[in-house]
Every structure is written in C-alpha cells, then in structure tokens.
Amino acid sequence: MILDVIILAAGKGTRMRSSKAKVLHELAGRSLISHVIGTAQQLQPRQVAVVVGHQADEVQASVASEHAWVLQRQQLGTGHAVAQAMASLAGDGVVLVLYGDVPLIDIQTLVDCCAAAAAGQVGLVTADFVDPGELGRIVRDDRGCIRRIVEYKDANDEQRAICEINSGILAAPASKLTNWLSAIKPNNAQGEYYLTDIIAMAVADGVEVAGITALNPVDVTGVNDRAQLADLEREFQRRQAHRLMLAGVTIADPDRIDIRGEVSIGEDSFIDINVVLEGQVELGRGVKVGPGAVITNSHIGDRTQIHAHTVIEGARVAEDCSLGPFARIRAGTELADGVKIGNFVETKKAKLGPGTKAGHLAYLGDTQLGADCNIGAGTITCNYDGVNKNITTVGNNVFVGSNSTLIAPVMIEDNAFIAAGSTITSKVSDGDLAVGRGKQRNIAGWVRPDLRKKK
C-alpha cells in the first residue's frame, strides 16, 4: 500500500486563549503536532503533508521539516484544507487525514483505517462518547451502515441525540477522494467546505464506509482548550506509568509522575511522588528516586538512591551512589560507583572517582576527583577567574577540610590533606598537609566597642 498522510493544523485554536499556535502547545514536553507527525511516521508513509495557516511560520519552524508544508491562507473548512494538500501529493495510493490537535490517536486504529482504504473503501474513525458535545454525528441506516456525517450545527434534535461521533480521522483512495473534494459545496450552517460531506458522496457512489471505532474515546479527543489539554496530558502520563509498572517499577502514585521524553527504568526501581523525568533518561535496576526529583537526559546506575528534590541534568551516575536531598547535578557530571553527594552540593563538569563523598554545601565545577576523597562542607572549586574556566585536579584519597577554596587551575595530589578554611592556590604534593589560612591570634583583655563607650 502506498500511503500519504495529510495533517490538518491550520486552525486558529481560539479557545486556547494563547498567542501560541494551538498545535505548538505541549503534551508530555512535545508539541501536539510533533506527536501526530511521530505517529504518522510509524505508518511509514511516502509523504506527510502538513496544512498550516494560523501562525504558519512558527508551526513550520518547530518541526524538522522532511514534510511538505501546505499553506492554507484562509481557513475555509476541513474539506478545503484537505483539497489544498491533495495538490501537493501524487494522487495515487491511499490518503490518511489526521488532525494536528488529536495527539493520542493510536497506531492500530490507523492501520485498520488505512487497510479499509487500501481495499477501496473509506475508513472512518468514530467513537462512542457519553457526552458528544458539538462533534459531528455519525448517521447510520437501519442495517447499521454509515450513510453520512451531520455536523452539530446542522443537526436536528434526533441527530444530536446520536452518541457515535466523527473523530475527523479518515482514509480513502486518493483518486476517489480528489473527485469528492472537488464536489464539496459550502451549503451549511457554517458556510464551510466540510470534509465530512465526502461520506455521503462515497455512499452515493456505492463505496462502502467502514467505521473503525476507537478503543478509547480519549484516543480521538481533540484539544480545544487548556482543560482538555490537561486531561489528555494526564491520560498520556497514566499510560506511561502503567507501562513502567508492568515492567517492574513501583510508582508511588501513577497520577503524580511526569515523563516528558523517553525513559527506561529497570526492575525493582521505586519512583516516589512528583518526580519529573525529561528527555532521554535511563534508570538501572533497584534505583530509588525520592519525591520531587527532576532528572533530565541522564543515566543512573543500579541501586543508586536519589533523595528528595534532587535535580540532575546531563549526568552519568554509576551504581550504588547516593545523591541529595537537595543536590544539583549539572551537565557533564560523571559519578563513579559508590559516590555520595549530600544536600546543597552542586556539581558541573565534575568527574568523581569511586567512593568519593561530598556530604554538604559544596560547589564542584570543572573538576576531576579521584577515588575515596572526602570533600568537606563549604568546599568551593573556584573555576572561573572572570575570563576563563579553569580545571581543578584532585588525586585519590584526598581530604579537603571544610570551607576550603580551591583556586583553579590547581592540582592536589594523592593522599593530600587540606586544612579546613584553606585557600589553595598552588599544587599540593602527594601526602602533604596544606594549611592556607591566617594564623589564629588571640588578644587578651580586649574590650567590645559597645562596652567601651559606657566606660
């Protein structure tokens, strides 16, 4: 089967009340239109044509474009939009029409829909809604065959009582579709060219209309306002959480997890509430993620524990580490097995060797630390001299006392010991003790200034 896909995305989306095009609003961190394009691509079509109109430039710029963009200058209706796109397609094979604002359409429904079209029929995706609102209604005859679609605004009370709705998604043989499109007239309550009119035309031509019922109404629900967007977001998140749970991950509350990207999590891992996972995230087996943690584009090794409110971005964390609570692990951080990072520690482009610990309140940037080091509270790598970023290199088994500043570029060799409160500006050799601070001086009999006046 040769398949071309048309995605309709020219509409304004007035009810979003937004300066941003509707299809650029995001679901699970990706624009609505990119969800639909992604789904379309799974069908391996010959061509994808996206019809844009309102804020066409922004929509076009948002998507890496191997697609044909079709500009519909005036939004004269769905039939008009499809007709515009047909002009950019080869005119043979099967054409599938998707909506840029219906992000959760599932692939099997589309496969069935296209199969009907490949067999010379019209495949029409419908759904049974408890509250069908103002969606188009599917009119069937006594034998249950689809006869036509009637738009809500054109429907009588009897038709409005029908609960089977038109999702808008359909597939048809390209040549027949072209003919029907050219016959659509805007003789209706809205004065628009309705794509839905092709159903009655197909029936009149003796072409069977195969209704493909969506498994779940949510699959075909469009986004018209932000409340609907939130409903679909939650549904999408619930499905992702469900998949992870079936794969052996315990999720404290599947309604309080947000995955905005591609995530793999090993068995026996535990995800506490309000965790956000973004981009490409890989968690190993037996990983524990505490409440409120945010992990972006990172790899976390087996059995590592990420405590509450830790933020990790662009990092590789090995096995059996412990991070946080309230740690910030920034891009380029690489932590070896058994590293411990405590509260209010920030790392950036920092490589920490196995067993190294930074328990509290430190900044480790542009630095390489060996194995089994102990970094005291308040340690700062002064990596920026106002012009350049400089490197701090620390060997194995180094002890850095609390509140030390390591002024980069600087090298601290194995087994060195830095006294608390030191400012280190030059190399510390293997096994040396460095004391870089003013000597304590006690002045006997000294009187406090406020007491002096009274004397």
Catalytic amino acids? 360
- Decide if residue 210 touches ligand UD1 (CB under 6 A): no
Q: Which does 86 bind (CB under 5 to 8 A by kind): ligand UD1, Mg ion, none?
A: none
Q: If you write DSSP's letter for every residue of 355-414 in order, what string do you get?
A: T-EEEEEEEEEEEEE-TT-EE-TT-EEE-B-SS-B--EEE-SS-EE-TT-EEESSEEE-T
Q: Which residues pair with 323 in a beta bridge?
A: 306, 341
Give the one residue of 6, 21, 63, 81 binding ligand UD1; rule: CB under 6 A: 81
Residue 200 contacts ligand UD1 per CB under 6 A: no
Give residue 28's identity as a one-letter amino acid code.
A
101 binds ligand UD1 (CB under 6 A): yes
Question: Cα–Cα distance between 234 and 257 in angstroms, integer?
Answer: 9
Determine if 196 is a binding residue for ligand UD1 (CB under 6 A): yes
Which C-beta is closer to ligand UD1: that of 99 or that of 236?
Answer: 99
Cα 10–Cα 14–Cα 15 angle in degrees, nearest 5: 125
Return the amino acid letter for 242.
Answer: H
What does 173 bind: ligand UD1, Mg ion, none (CB cut-off 5 to 8 Å by kind)?
none
| Closer to Mg ion by Cβ: residue 77 or 222 | 222
Contact flag: residue 100 with ligand UD1 (CB under 6 A): yes
Backbone angles phi, psi at 114, to 5 degrees: -70, -35
**Site size for ligand UD1 (CB under 6 A):** 27
Number of residue whose CB is nearest ligand UD1: 136
Please state, in angstroms and rounded to a whole number, the distance separating the CA atoms of residues 32 and 98: 12
Rounded to whole angstroms, the maximal C-alpha distance in the chain is 112
Of these partners, Mg ion, ligand UD1, none, which one is at the site of residue 194 (CB under 5 to 8 Å by kind)? ligand UD1
28 binds, among Mg ion, ligand UD1, none (CB under 5 to 8 A by kind): none
| Interaction mask 408-447, Mg ion, x per CB under 5 A | ----------------------------------------
Residue closer to Mg ion (CB basis): 222 or 290: 222
8 A C-beta contact, residue 398 and residue 405:
no
Least distance CB 220 / Mg ion (angstroms): 11
Q: How far apart are CA 16 and CA 23, in angstroms?
A: 10
Separation of alpha carbons 280 and 261, rounded Å? 6
Strands (E), 39-117: 47-52, 68-71, 94-99
Alpha helices in 43-104 (DSSP H): 56-62, 78-86
| Residue 5: partners with Cβ closer than 8 Å, 6 or more residues away | 40, 43, 45, 47, 48, 49, 95, 96, 97, 98
HEC string of 1-31 equals CCEEEEEEECCCCHHHCCCCCHHHCEECCEE
The residue whose Cβ lies closest to Mg ion is 222
Residue 11 binding: pick among Mg ion, ligand UD1, none (C-beta 5-8 Å cut-off by kind): ligand UD1
Which residues inside 34-63 make contact with ligand UD1, applying CB under 6 A? 51
Encoded one letter per residue, x for contact with Mg ion by CB under 5 A and - for no contact, window 213-242 reads ---------x--------------------
H or E element, residue 283: strand 275-283
Sign of CA dihedral 126, 129, 132, 137: positive
Q: Which is nearer to ligand UD1, 221 or 392 (by Cβ)? A: 221
Name the segment binding ligand UD1 (CB under 6 A); options: 32-40, 71-79, 313-321, 425-433: 71-79
Q: Which of 77, 103, 378, 401 binds ligand UD1 (CB under 6 A)?
A: 77
* Residue 259 sits in the site that holds ligand UD1 (CB under 6 A): no
Is 103 a binding residue for ligand UD1 by CB under 6 A? The answer is no
> According to CB under 6 A, which residues from 132 to 151 bind ligand UD1?
135-136, 149, 151
Binding of residue 75 to ligand UD1 (CB under 6 A):
yes
- Contacted by 196, from Mg ion, ligand UD1, none: CB < 5 to 8 Å by type: ligand UD1
Kindly state the tokens that stand for 320: 């059996």
Would you tell me which residues interact with ligand UD1 (CB under 6 A)? Answer: 8-11, 51, 72, 75-78, 80-81, 99-101, 135-136, 149, 151, 165-168, 194-196, 222
Would you tell me which residues interact with Mg ion (CB under 5 A)? Answer: 222
